[in-house]
């Protein structure tokens, strides 16, 4: 038999919004995939509006970047620092710390590594490990102040880390326009690293940076999933009060995790300077801080997922550069596309958490 409501005109029907208990993981994955597709379609429409021929889009993004050996290498190479900042984001967010200071920590990591190269500290054989260690320590130290301020004085870390970014940036400019400027020309960058100070290629086209990024991803996976600190971290994330009551060292766990996040960002800074131009430049960090946060958000703070998302973002970076060269589309397009993807995926959670249902027999 027919229900009476079936014959109501559409607008007279009444709907209700309900909070779902749980959604099966495959439905969740489907909703997120749909959100990504919507985001990519919007981005494609913007690209076409900006002057890229629609037919070229597929060619540019998919075929040229993924099926060409050289671009594939470029994507892998680009992915290494992105994996690092993505993992740094995952760690900080797991400690419920909004680390927007990834760029500042990258800048300090790169400055630290460059200092080792400029002042020729250590023998050539030890130079590269020394530079990496220095990058780690400098990034860690730049994250120390906002972490302590948040834990002891409850100073909002969003503002403090961002302010420290601007301070780090101005210090970088002071160096590359000042005493660290390459004496050979007038561009704002430091002298180039020597050959043994750069990350070598291990196999054909596989940079050491990629291997390090993979190892760090495994370490973070162990740290968050297996180690005692990771267990504490999940405890603190779920309920800081209970965690403190049963004797988990809450402050130390959060502090350690945030410092680790800063250290990884510092190493990412060194990877970018060593990998791209082999020297400190005035804008090497641009865009990585945002991408790190985006990767962590899209990966839901899971290290393995972050690695995969970082590869996708790296594809976007590489494709964005070729769009810049061939169609004069500014690199801000890459940031815009990333922002659109974040907005779409964040919005999709609404459909995961709620459902819209028609009220049975609801009569106006």
Partner 1 sequence: MNMIASWIGNIPDFAVPFALAALGLIVIERSGVLALGAEGLMLVGALTGIGASLMTGGATVWALIIAMIAAAVVSQLFALMVLVMRINQVIAGLALVFFCQGLTGLLGTLMNWTNKPVSGLQSVSLWPLSELPVVGKLFVQNPVVYLTPIIFVLVVLVLNRSVTGLRLRAVGENPQAADAAGIPVLAYRCAAIAAGSALIGLAGAYISVLSTKMWIADMVGGRGWIAVALVIFARWAPWKALAGALLFGCIEALIPQMAASGIRLPQYFVFMTPYAVTLGVMIWVAIVSRDNSSQPGALGEPFIREERR
Which stretches of the chain bind partner 1, using CB under 8 A? 14, 16-19, 50-51, 98, 100, 149, 153-156, 158-160, 162-164, 166-167, 170-171, 173-174, 177-178, 290, 293-294, 297, 329-340, 342-343, 346-347, 349-350, 353, 359, 362
Shorter beta-carbon distance to partner 1: residue 87 or 294: 294
> In this complex, which beta carbon is closest to partner 1, that of residue 59 or of residue 347?
347
* Nearest to partner 1 of 61, 290 (CB atom): 290
Nearest approach in angstroms of CB 127 to partner 1 is: 28
Q: How far is the CB of 338 from partner 1 (least distance, A)?
A: 7
Q: How far is the CB of 360 from partner 1 (least distance, A)?
A: 13
Nearest distance from C-beta of residue 326 to partner 1, angstroms = 15
Distant-in-sequence, close-in-space partners of 160: CB < 8 Å, separation ≥ 6 = 101, 145, 146, 149, 150
Q: Round to whole Å and give the CA distance between 361 and 231.
A: 49
Half-sphere exposure of residue 287: CA atoms within 13 angstroms, side-chain side: 22
Q: How big is the CA angle at 116 (ends 114 and 119), to the nearest 5 degrees?
A: 100
For the chain, where are the alpha helices, taking DSSP H only? 25-49, 54-58, 64-66, 69-94, 102-118, 124-153, 157-177, 208-225, 228-238, 240-245, 250-275, 288-298, 303-327, 332-353
Considering the complex, what minimum distance in angstroms separates the CB of residue 73 from partner 1?
27
Choice between 194 and 357, CB closer to partner 1: 357
Name the helix (H) or strand (E) containing 357: strand 354-358
Specify the residue, 115 or 217, whose C-beta has the smaller distance to partner 1. Answer: 115
Q: How far is the CB of 155 from partner 1 (least distance, A)?
A: 5
Is residue 356 classed as helix, strand or coil in its secondary structure? Answer: strand
Q: How many CA atoms lie within 13 A of 19 on its CB side?
A: 1
191: left (phi over 0), alpha (psi -120 to 50) or beta: beta
- In residues, how long is the chain? 364
**To the nearest whole angstrom, how small is the minimum distance from the Cβ of residue 142 to partner 1?**
13
Concatenating the DSSP letter of every residue in 11-63 gives: GGS-EEEEE-S---HHHHHHHHHHHHHHHHHHHHHHHHHTT--HHHHHIIIII
Task: Return the DSSP state at 204.
Answer: S
Q: Tell me, rounded to whole angstroms, the distance of Cα 200 from its chain centroid.
A: 24
Q: How far is the CB of 212 from partner 1 (least distance, A)?
A: 27
Nearer to partner 1, 70 or 154 (CB): 154
- Whichever of 233 and 329 has its CB closer to partner 1, that residue is 329
Q: Which is nearer to partner 1, 192 or 335 (CB)?
A: 335
């Amino acid at each position: 038999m027919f229900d009476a409501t079936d014959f109501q005109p559409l607008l007279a029907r009444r709907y209700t919004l309900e909070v779902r208990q749980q959604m099966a993981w495959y439905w969740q994955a489907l909703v997120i995939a749909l959100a990504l597709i919507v985001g990519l379609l919007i981005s494609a429409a913007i690209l076409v509006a900006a002057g890229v021929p629609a037919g070229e889009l597929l060619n540019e993004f998919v075929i040229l970047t993924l099926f060409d050996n050289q671009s594939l290498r470029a994507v892998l190479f680009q992915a290494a620092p992105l994996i690092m900042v993505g993992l740094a984001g995952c760690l900080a967010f797991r400690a419920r710390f909004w680390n927007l200071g990834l760029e500042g920590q990258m800048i300090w990591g790169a400055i630290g590594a460059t200092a080792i190269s400029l002042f020729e500290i250590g023998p050539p054989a030890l130079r590269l490990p020394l530079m990496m260690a220095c990058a780690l320590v400098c990034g860690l130290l730049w994250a120390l102040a906002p972490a302590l301020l948040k834990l002891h004085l409850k100073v909002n870390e969003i503002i403090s880390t961002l302010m420290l970014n601007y301070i780090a940036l101005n210090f970088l400019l002071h160096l590359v326009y000042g005493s660290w400027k390459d004496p050979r020309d007038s561009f704002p960058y430091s002298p180039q690293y020597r050959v043994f100070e750069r990350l070598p290629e291990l196999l054909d086209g596989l940079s050491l940076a990629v291997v390090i990024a993979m190892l760090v991803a495994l370490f973070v996976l162990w740290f968050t999933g297996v180690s005692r600190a990771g267990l504490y971290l999940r405890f603190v994330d779920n309920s800081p009060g209970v965690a403190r009551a049963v004797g988990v060292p809450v402050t130390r766990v959060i502090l350690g995790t945030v410092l680790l996040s800063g250290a990884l960002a510092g190493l990412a800074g060194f990877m970018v300077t060593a990998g791209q131009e082999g020297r400190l430049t005035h804008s090497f960090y641009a865009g990585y801080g945002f991408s790190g946060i985006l990767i962590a958000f899209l990966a839901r703070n899971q290290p393995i997922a972050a690695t995969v998302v970082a590869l996708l973002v790296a594809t976007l970076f590489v494709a964005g550069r070729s769009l810049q060269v061939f169609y004069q589309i500014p690199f801000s397009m890459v940031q815009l596309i990333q922002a659109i993807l974040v907005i779409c995926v964040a919005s999709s959670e609404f459909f995961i958490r709620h459902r819209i249902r028609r009220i049975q027999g609801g009569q106006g």
